[in-house]
Structure 1
Amino acid sequence: MLQVCLNGARSRAECAHLPVTPRQLASAARDAVDAGAEDVHLHPKDRDGRDTLEPEAVAAAVEAVRAAVPGVPVGVTTGAWAAADPRDRAQRVRAWTVLPDHASVNWHEDGAPEVAEALLGRGVGVEAGVYSGTPAARRFLDWPGAGRVLRVLAETAEADPREAVRAAARLLDALAPAAAPVLLHGEEAAAWPVLRLAASRGLDTRIGLEDVLRLPDGSPAPDNAALVGAARAIVRGRSA
């Protein structure tokens, strides 16, 4: 499965063509799915372009994207940068009026089990975010609900591509006991090498402006669809 991560916690200052509004997210999602994406991950934004978990913003973003790509799963973030207090994050999840298909929960953040339980209690799938270089893998595997998540997002935080690939391999070893499917991805300069590792191992992966702003050849990515097209070519090449 190839997921597109449309925007992340970035701002328009970093990327002038970053999709921010519900309408922009819907257009970007449609183009990315046409290019081969099978799942959508997005960060709802407030009027100032900052990540938010407020019910109105989540509803607007999810409804717009669902209308643009009917039948394609749509997920959102629950990152602590959008609401620092884990009790607040869980409360906002319980207040959502429109439910995404899934939501990511970062296991190195305080209160991850509480947020995950709030999501599961509402029938929302949990993507367990497990970062390399943190105790997240052990925390997640020790959680009694680990077998109930939709998937594990294995995320490498290392900037150096070669180190990121090594870290990804170590992280996959650490996550071997997990019962859920693993989606492996990297960031920035490491995004493409880690995606190639995921493809070589037959794992789910993701790409999009959240993770990287450049294509494999180093040129600036004009949009999410171009990134997805490049990733799809790599995945197909590995499976051919």
Structure 2
Amino acid sequence: MNPAIITAALTGPIATTRDNPNLPVTPEQIAAEAKAAYDAGAAVVHVHVRDEDGNPTADVAVAERTTRLIEEACPVHVQLSTGVGLSVPFEDRAGIVEARPRMATLNVCSMTFGGGEFRNPPEGVRRLAARMRELDVIPELELYDTGHLDMALSLLEEGLLVEPLNVSLVLGVRHGGMAATPENMLKVVRELPAGTAWQVIAIGRTNLQMTAMGLALGGNARTGMEDTLTLRRGVPVSNNAELVRRLVGVARALEREPATVEEVGTLLGSHSERLAAGA
């Protein structure tokens, strides 16, 4: 079967070291975790950056420094999150792409997110998509509900995205996202354009089951301390590499080798490469 792209989401915008003392929060800690995740089999690291107090930040200088430290530590592909944190204004969050990572998230719709609101206004999303195209940053389209695909396809029709799309199905966000069920996963997968690169992201206790199903269906998968802080009930995660090794084991049991950094570069390309291919 095709190689499986394994992504490690090193630290998210919500959990703190009070939830798990092993959570990386400083640029140096994040870079060290990226290196360990890469050594364990991840070819992509999904990165949220934090300020001196450990809070989510869209500070481009912090994002640039964190990205530089990761790139100095290992050749993994860096994917910056424009989600940043629910309390950070959209325009500030969008500005993080000015750090010019190889990849960045593009959250296509607003939604209720747990007890908060995740604002992604349509015109703001269009501006961000256009700016990512200008900067040659590959968008990772995060779809939290079945209807979010409609917006992504509209952006494609408007010429703001380039095929093949790179899509993440985010399952299990409470009070706003689609539930982590095989039925929801299959519904969206069946509607994706041919050739789309897709991965499963599952939050909390369903992380292993849903990502394993995604791998079995031929998709890619993400794990990491942003998505789950425990290996199993009552057993906290020691580091991101521990989660990556577990997911790599699942992929290999399904006779899918983890994609190398070089293979990811070929599979995902870039905006400029995709535009040239379609010319």
- Asked if TM exceeds 0.5, the reply is yes
Residue in 1 that maps onto 2:171:
156
Q: How does 1:18-167 map to 2 (within 5 A)?
A: 18-70=23-75, 72-79=76-83, 81=85, 84-90=88-94, 92-93=95-96, 96=98, 98-108=99-109, 109-110=120-121, 111-132=124-145, 135-143=147-155, 144=158, 145-148=160-163, 151-157=166-172, 163-167=180-184
CA 1:51–1:82: 2 relative to 1, 3 Å: farther
Residue in 2 that maps onto 1:7:
11
Residue in 2 that maps onto 1:228:
244
How far 1:200 sits from its partner (Å)? 0.4
Partners of 1:100 and 1:150 in 2: CA distance: 17
Instruction: Using CA pairs under 8 Å that are at least 6 residues apart, name the structure with larger relative contact order, 1 or 2.
Output: 2
Q: Deviations over 1:18-52 (max 9, x none)?
A: 11111101111111111111111110111121222
Aligned residue identity for 2:214: A
Pick which of 182-191 and 77-86 moved more. Answer: 77-86
Calculate the TM-score normalised by the size of structure 2.
0.76
> Is the aligned partner of 1:169 residue 2:181?
no
Partner SS state of residue 230, structure 2: coil
Partners of 1:225 and 1:8 in 2: CA distance: 16
Q: 1:185 aligns with which of 195, 201, 204?
A: 201
Aligned residue identity for 2:83: G
Aligned residue identity for 2:131: A
CA 1:80–1:136: 2 relative to 1, 3 Å: farther
Partners of 2:87 and 2:131 in 1: CA distance: 15
Task: Could you tell me which runs of 5 or more consecutive residues in structure 1 were left unpaired when the two chains were aligned.
Answer: none
CA 1:43–1:31: 2 relative to 1, 3 Å: same
CA 1:191–1:80: 2 relative to 1, 3 Å: same
Q: Give the number of equivalent residue pairs.
A: 233
Structure 1 contact 74–101 (Cα < 8 Å) conserved: yes
Pick which of 33-42 and 178-187 moved more. Answer: 178-187
Q: Deviations over 1:51-88 (max 9, x none)?
A: 22211111111011111112x21011001636744344
Partners of 1:162 and 1:131 in 2: CA distance: 9
Partners of 2:164 and 2:22 in 1: CA distance: 33
Partners of 1:7 and 1:80 in 2: CA distance: 11
Q: 1:237 aligns with which of 231, 253, 256?
A: 253
How far 1:154 sits from its partner (Å)? 1.3
Residue in 2 that maps onto 1:199:
215
Partners of 2:23 and 2:138 in 1: CA distance: 26
